[in-house]
């Protein structure tokens, strides 16, 4: 599973942990996170701005 970080505040969305407070239980893949989702910590960046941490980015992103 992969992790993605916000380039502004370094919040990390980890697919293994999910983001329960945002409605994404553990194991929720990045592809299941809505495209209009914004960073829950800074609210500045949208999903498309998040950067993959290790591994390869998803096809089409």
Tens digit of each residue's pLDDT (9 = 90 or more) over 27-53: 999 999 999 999 999 998 899 999 999
Residue 15's domain is classified under what CATH number?
2.20.28.10
* Model confidence, pTM: 0.81
Q: Which domain holds residue 48?
A: 3-53
DSSP conformation letters of 13-57: EETTTBBGGGTB-TT--GGGS-TT-B-TTTS--BGGG-EEESS-P
Residue 55: pLDDT band by 50, 70, 90 thresholds?
Answer: low
The domain total for the chain is 1
Tell me, yes or no, whether 59 lies in a domain: no
Contact by Cβ (8 Å): 26, 57: no
Per-residue pLDDT tens over the stretch 6-19: 999 989 999 999 99
Tell me, yes or no, whether 49 lies in a domain: yes
């Amino acid at each position: 599973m992969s992790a993605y970080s916000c380039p502004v505040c370094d919040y990390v969305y980890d697919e293994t942990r999910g983001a329960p407070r945002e409605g994404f239980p553990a194991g929720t893949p990045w592809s299941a996170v809505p495209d209009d989702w914004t960073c829950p910590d800074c609210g500045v960046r949208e999903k498309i701005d998040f950067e993959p941490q290790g591994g390869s980015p998803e096809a089409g992103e």
